[in-house]
Amino acid sequence: MPGAAGRKAANYVNHTRRKDITLAAIGGGLAVGPILGLPGVKYDINKLNYLGSTESGTPYLFYTRKEAGLDSLEKLRSASVVKVGGQTVGHPIYYSARMIAYILGLKNQKYVTGYSGREMDLAVLRGEIDGRTNNATTLLRRNPEWLERDMIDLHVTITVPKGKFHPRFKDVPAVDTFAKTDMDRKLLSMFRALLYPRWPFFLAPGAPKESVSILQEAFRKTFQDPEFMKYFEKMMGAEASPLNAEEVKQAIAAIPSDPEVLTLFKALAGPGPIPSR
């Protein structure tokens, strides 16, 4: 159910009458909407019935197409304009690129939204946009030939959790090395906290306790099944790093709430210009 970085789907599940059999798995858009007070949020992340998450974090990469000729930080900073793609305002792909621009001091980016993930890939190939962020596993699963044929320039990675590099991209500079202030580091901590439960599955508030308990146990047993781990890696190109229901709930509750950081993060996730440093 596309729409508003997962907020539309979360709203649907939150208000469904079929609370025991309607569930969703939503990425980083689930927590960012209510935490930052983005429009259209009609659910409370602390009241959802979490079942588990197949992954706990994934590294993000910022890259540009080779034809753009932006193969260094100096060229990124001096280019007249760098067109960067995103799904929608408030989506992790969108605000991760803007956070990177803020930390690296890039002042010449133009953000083009309205794409699906695959449409954004086509936009890179066609030259409609110059670059984007994406998580490492998705890039490897959908576009391995971009790496094999040297079609993109990789600039920085945001490890989630901190220090957890994807083996294929361990030589890509971590954006943390460019963080100059305590606020920069707090921003990165906020980003990681929002995306640590990578794909939390949940039922609506008010779901029958028995149904919640049955599904939580089913998720727990699935995550312990070696065959699931093998199948996940085959399908996703990366190992599963699951969290059980209680771990997802704890991770959501632990998201930082520093007002100053939230204000800056909200500006970076919003439609306005990137704040000056």
CB half-sphere exposure, 42, CA atoms < 13 A: 10
Strand order in the sheet with 23-25: 23-25, 200-203, 49-53, 243-244
**pLDDT tens digit at each of 277 positions of the chain:** 877 767 888 899 888 888 878 888 987 678 877 887 777 889 898 899 999 999 888 899 999 999 999 999 999 999 999 999 999 888 889 999 999 999 999 989 999 999 999 999 999 999 999 999 999 989 998 999 999 999 999 999 999 989 989 989 999 999 999 999 999 999 999 999 888 888 899 999 999 999 999 999 999 999 999 999 999 988 877 788 899 999 999 888 888 889 999 999 999 998 999 998 8
CA 215 – CA 244 distance, rounded (Å): 11
Q: Is residue 273 part of a domain?
A: no
Domains in the chain: how many in total?
Answer: 2
Same structural domain, 157 and 173 = yes
> What pLDDT does 194 receive?
86
* Residue 197 three-state SS: strand
> What pLDDT does 40 receive?
83
| Sole residue written with tokens 């798995």 | 25
> What pLDDT does 252 receive?
87
Same structural domain, 161 and 77 = yes
Same structural domain, 139 and 15 = no
Provide the residue range defining the domain that includes 118: 60-193
> What pLDDT does 91 receive?
87
Same structural domain, 106 and 188 = yes
Q: Which of 171, 193, 215 is the C-terminal boundary of a domain?
A: 193
Same structural domain, 95 and 171 = yes
Same structural domain, 66 and 189 = yes
CA 147 – CA 130 distance, rounded (Å): 16
* pTM for the model: 0.82
Same structural domain, 153 and 219 = no
> What pLDDT does 18 receive?
83
Q: Is residue 270 part of a domain?
A: no
Same structural domain, 69 and 157 = yes
Same structural domain, 201 and 160 = no
> What pLDDT does 192 receive?
92
> What tokens were used for 198?
């990578």
Residue 9 sits in a domain whose CATH number is: 3.40.190.150
Q: Is residue 275 part of a domain?
A: no
Q: Which of 193, 215, 237 is the C-terminal boundary of a domain?
A: 193
